[in-house]
């Protein structure tokens, strides 16, 4: 219920009280009416259909460092490898950027931020692990980093990256990728 409606309802209630006073005096009955309105909005929520997965990467066999990246892209199905080392992709089954689904009311404005905790395997951690900037694939327009929902749902993708070398320990590394949506 917006401000204008509330004020109108208050005025109507005041009129009703006045009429009731008159009814006591003249023994007549009045039945006042007032408009009621409500605006329904979509409850805001953020769900995660799938996480960030890099697949299986073979470490460099000689000196040199590689940066393993997964783009913030819905179409990214395998990591890219840059740098001077000889790392390569062994298996990309299930690999892809993290997918978040923001459900809210069309027209709302928001900004996005992402972070990646340390990716660790036992006592080992990956060097320079970080999240990449989020990318909205659908459902919102972007104006200098401030997004506006153009639907009641937006698909957001977040990738990440880390460095490996020939001294990186083998193993399965896991971490936590966090997306924060802040409403203006």
Partner 1 sequence: MAHPHLSAALFAISLAGTPSPTQLNSSAAASVTLTTSGGIAVITPLVLPSVQVSPGSSDTSFTTETPAAGTGSGSVSSNARLTVVRDNGEAVSVDVPQSFDVIRTGGGETLTVNTVTTGDLASNGDAMLVGGSAASVDIGGKLALASANHLVPGPYSGLLVVVVQYN
100 closest CA partner among 169, 47, 140 = 47
Q: Does the protein bind partner 1 through residue 139 (CB under 8 A)? A: no
| Stretch near partner 1 under the rule CB under 8 A, chosen from 16-24, 28-36, 53-61, 132-140 | 53-61
In contact, 46 and 101? CB cutoff 8 Å:
yes
CA atoms of 126 and 123, how far apart (whole Å): 10
Q: Does the protein bind partner 1 through residue 142 (CB under 8 A)? A: no
Q: Does the protein bind partner 1 through residue 34 (CB under 8 A)? A: no
Dmax (CA) for the chain in angstroms is 102
Q: How far is the CB of 96 from partner 1 (least distance, A)?
A: 11
DSSP symbol at 144:
T
Q: Does the protein bind partner 1 through residue 89 (CB under 8 A)? A: yes
Among 41, 128, 138, 167, contact with partner 1 (rule: CB under 8 A): 41
CA atoms of 59 and 90, how far apart (whole Å): 10
Q: Does the protein bind partner 1 through residue 141 (CB under 8 A)? A: no
Tokens standing for 76?
């990214």
Residues 118-137 binding partner 1 (CB under 8 A) are: 119, 121, 126
Question: Which 3 state secondary structure label does DSSP give 10?
Answer: helix
Among 55, 74, 150, 153, contact with partner 1 (rule: CB under 8 A): 55
How buried is residue 25: exposed, middle or buried, by Cβ count under 10 Å (0-12/13-18/19+)? exposed
Residues that bind partner 1 (CB under 8 A): 2-3, 6-7, 10-11, 41, 43-48, 50-61, 68, 86-91, 98-100, 102, 104-105, 108, 116-117, 119, 121, 126, 158, 160, 162, 164, 168-183
């Amino acid at each position: 219920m917006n401000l204008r409606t509330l004020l109108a309802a208050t005025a109507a209630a005041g009129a009703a009280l006045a009429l009731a006073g008159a009814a006591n005096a003249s023994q007549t009955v009045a039945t006042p009416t007032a408009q009621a309105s409500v605006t329904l909005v979509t409850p805001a929520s953020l769900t995660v259909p799938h996480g960030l997965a890099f697949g299986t990467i073979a470490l460099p066999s000689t000196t040199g460092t590689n940066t393993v990246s997964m783009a913030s892209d819905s179409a990214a199905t395998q990591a890219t490898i840059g740098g001077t080392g000889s790392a390569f992709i062994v298996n990309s089954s299930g690999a892809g950027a993290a997918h978040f689904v923001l459900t809210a009311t069309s027209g709302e404005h928001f900004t996005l931020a992402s972070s990646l905790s340390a990716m660790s395997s036992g006592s080992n951690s990956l060097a320079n692990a970080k999240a990449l900037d989020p990318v909205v694939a659908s459902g919102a327009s972007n104006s200098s980093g401030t997004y506006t929902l153009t639907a009641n749902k937006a698909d957001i993708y977040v990738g990440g990256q880390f460095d490996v070398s020939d001294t990186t320990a083998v193993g399965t590394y896991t971490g936590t990728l966090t997306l924060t949506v802040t409403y203006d």
